[in-house]
Amino acid sequence: STVDVYVSLVEGNPVPGAMVYIDNEFVGETWEDGLLRAAPVSPGEHIVRVEGQGRIGTKSFNVQYDSREYVIIILS
C-alpha cells in the first residue's frame, strides 16, 4: 500500500521541500508541486504530519491492503 501526500498553504500555493512523517517516521520531502508520491505504508490507520515554512499540519488516514491513498494537508 502507498500514500500520496499533497501539501499546500491556506492561500492554495503548493509547499515544496516540506518534511513528511508517517506515524512519526520521516518518509521524505515534497517536490516542487507540493506532492510526495508513493510513500509505502502498511494497511490500517496512520497519522501523517507535515512540517514546512514554519508551519505544521496533521491528518489521519486509513489505507486498505494493496491500495493507494491520497491525503491533502493544508498548512495554516
| pLDDT of res. 23 | 97
| pLDDT of res. 76 | 84
| pLDDT of res. 17 | 98
d(CA 57, CA 52): 9
Of residues 67, 49, 68, the one with CA closest to residue 59: 49
Mean pLDDT of 19-32: 98
Q: pLDDT-based confidence at 3, cuts 50/70/90?
A: very high
Query: Which residues have C-beta within 8 Å of that of residue 37, sequence separation ≥ 6?
Result: 4, 31
